[in-house]
Amino acid sequence: AQTIHQWPVAEIKAVGSPLSLGCTIKGKSSPNLYWYWQATGGTLQQLFYSITVGQVESVVQLNLSASRPKDDQFILSTEKLLLSHSGFYLCAWSSRDWGNYAEQFFGPGTRLTVL
């Protein structure tokens, strides 16, 4: 069975400080990986997706960047946090075999508070 792990569970950071959030998926080779952001009380918005190591496509920038250093790992980062970065960040995966319309499965999320 596939498992998806996100770290940290929660972060409280200062405006202007750097950020790195991680996501690892186990039990699935060559997955498509995604980052989503959710404002408190809001809906989910896709930020980035990646279909393979070293390749990341931006959907919505929000002054964030993403990298895929390994097949099973997806990293979200920024050098300077803004207040507007606060929210809930979710990582998701889907099977590459099913293309654009594959079912997506989500990790437990990281709650970020920027002060």
In the range 19-48, which residues lie near another protein by CB under 8 A? 32, 34, 38, 42-46
CA 21 distance to own-chain centroid: 7
Cis amide prior to 31 (ω within 30 degrees): no
Span 72-111, contacts to another protein by CB under 8 A = 88, 90, 92, 94, 100-106, 108-109, 111
Measured CA to CA, the distance from residue 44 to residue 75 in angstroms comes to 18
- According to the binding rule CB under 8 A, does residue 57 interact with another protein? yes
Closer to another protein by Cβ: residue 9 or 83: 9
CB of 111 to another protein, least distance (A): 7
